Amino acid sequence: MTQQPVELIVLKQVASYLATPIFLVDPEGNLLYYNEPAELVLGLRFDETGEMSMAEWSSLFVPENEDGSPKPAEELPLVIALREHRPAHASFLITGLDGTRRSIAATAFPLVAQSGHNLGAVSLFWLEEK
């Protein structure tokens, strides 16, 4: 595995201390980390899933629209932030790896180093009351 930029290492460290669920990906969309509060929403500890590709994580957590129809990966805020290099927000349903269906709201934004280098993207999310 290649060495990650220091900004991502620091962000992972900060995320580990926050109560807000956080999901972090590299420029190719590979999952680098999600914190303990995200584990509660996603239904499995990061230590158990580990790093994975965008194709894996965007289908593994079974995202759905409010009407129960599948939510295409390209409509997920994190994918929009990564591919279009802009912030995005959406509410949708996911079925976590524990089999529990949850309504979440997610806000994602691209990560850009001071040098202008694309570092990936991050999503902050929370459970919505329905």
What domains appear along the chain, each with residue ranges and CATH number? 6-127 (3.30.450.20)
Confidence at residue 97, expressed as pLDDT on a 0 to 100 scale: 87
pLDDT digits (tens, 9 = 90+) for 101-115: 999 999 999 999 999
What residue ranges of the chain have pLDDT lower than 50?
none
Question: What pLDDT does residue 102 have?
Answer: 93
CA distances from residue 43 to 1, 50, 82, 109, 112 in whole angstroms, order as listed: 26, 13, 24, 23, 29
pTM of the model: 0.90
Q: β-strand 63-64 against 88-95: which pairing, if any?
A: antiparallel
Dig out the tokens for 99 from the structure.
Answer: 């089999």
Beta-carbon contacts of 108 under 8 Å, excluding residues fewer than 6 positions away, are: 76, 77, 78, 80, 81, 82, 87, 88, 89, 121, 122, 123, 124
